[in-house]
Amino acid sequence: MKEKIKNKLGTVGITVFELIVGIFLFLDPEKLIKFVLAAFGIYLIALGIIRLFRYNRSKNKEAVVVGSKEDKADNSSTPGILHIIFGVICCFGYPIIKGIFSALAFIVGIVLILAGIVKYIQYNDDKKRGSASSLLLTTSVLSLVCGVLCIINPFGTTNMLFRFAAVAMIAFSCMDLAAMFGFGKKEEKEKK
């Protein structure tokens, strides 16, 4: 058993990380997203500061060979400034990002309603021809219901989608761990 763990340590680590992220995403998607955005924002700010220091250092050099690696990497302060701006947006712009997710859920709701209407029209046309499918009617109704739910509560829809993704992450990581430690049916190797 120790040998199995030792051979698969990297994969086990990533799978356990996936399981932990899935659990936190399921428990409170909003807090996890805020944390990830803040961590990413801090990373971008640090990267931007480093790029600005590199720019200032290269600017102070007497002679930078044109076309050299240093010339290409450090000839502008723009990347550093952009990294800092996007880092600050990630750290403090959660309400804006939350609004973007809600707007996307609203747009998805409109698309689902339009798709439901088109499917219902197709169902009626097929019914007139005598070849109506109850599956088409079912998907039409489901599209309409899901679309209305997305429009009525777009942020709640986003949280529900994150929780669904969390359940999938938890289930897949548990199945992966079970498979790694030999649970389930083993495949036989071909003998030559």
Q: Where are the domains of the chain?
A: 2-180
Do 38 and 88 form a contact (C-beta atoms < 8 A)? no
pLDDT of residue 12: 79
User: How does the average pLDDT of the chain come out, rounded?
Assistant: 82
Q: Mean pLDDT, to the nearest integer, of 106-134?
A: 89
Above 70 in pLDDT, residue 123? Answer: yes
Per-residue pLDDT band at 64 (split at 50, 70, 90): very low
Per-residue pLDDT band at 61 (split at 50, 70, 90): low
Q: Mean pLDDT, to the nearest integer, of 100-106?
A: 85
Report how far residue 185's alpha carbon sits from residue 181's, in angstroms, rounded to the nearest whole number.
Answer: 12
Report how far residue 87's alpha carbon sits from residue 47's, in angstroms, rounded to the nearest whole number.
Answer: 9
Above 60 in pLDDT, residue 181? Answer: yes
Quickly count helices (H) and strands (E) in the chain: 8, 0
Render pLDDT for 48-59 as a digit per residue (tens, 0 to 9): 999 988 888 876
Report how far residue 73's alpha carbon sits from residue 192's, in angstroms, rounded to the nearest whole number.
Answer: 55
Above 70 in pLDDT, residue 159? Answer: yes
Render pLDDT for 72-96 as a digit per residue (tens, 0 to 9): 555 678 888 999 999 999 898 888 8
pLDDT of residue 63: 46
Do 143 and 109 form a contact (C-beta atoms < 8 A)? no
pLDDT of residue 158: 80
Q: Mean pLDDT, to the nearest integer, of 110-136?
A: 88
Please give the structure tokens belonging to residue 101: 């997710």
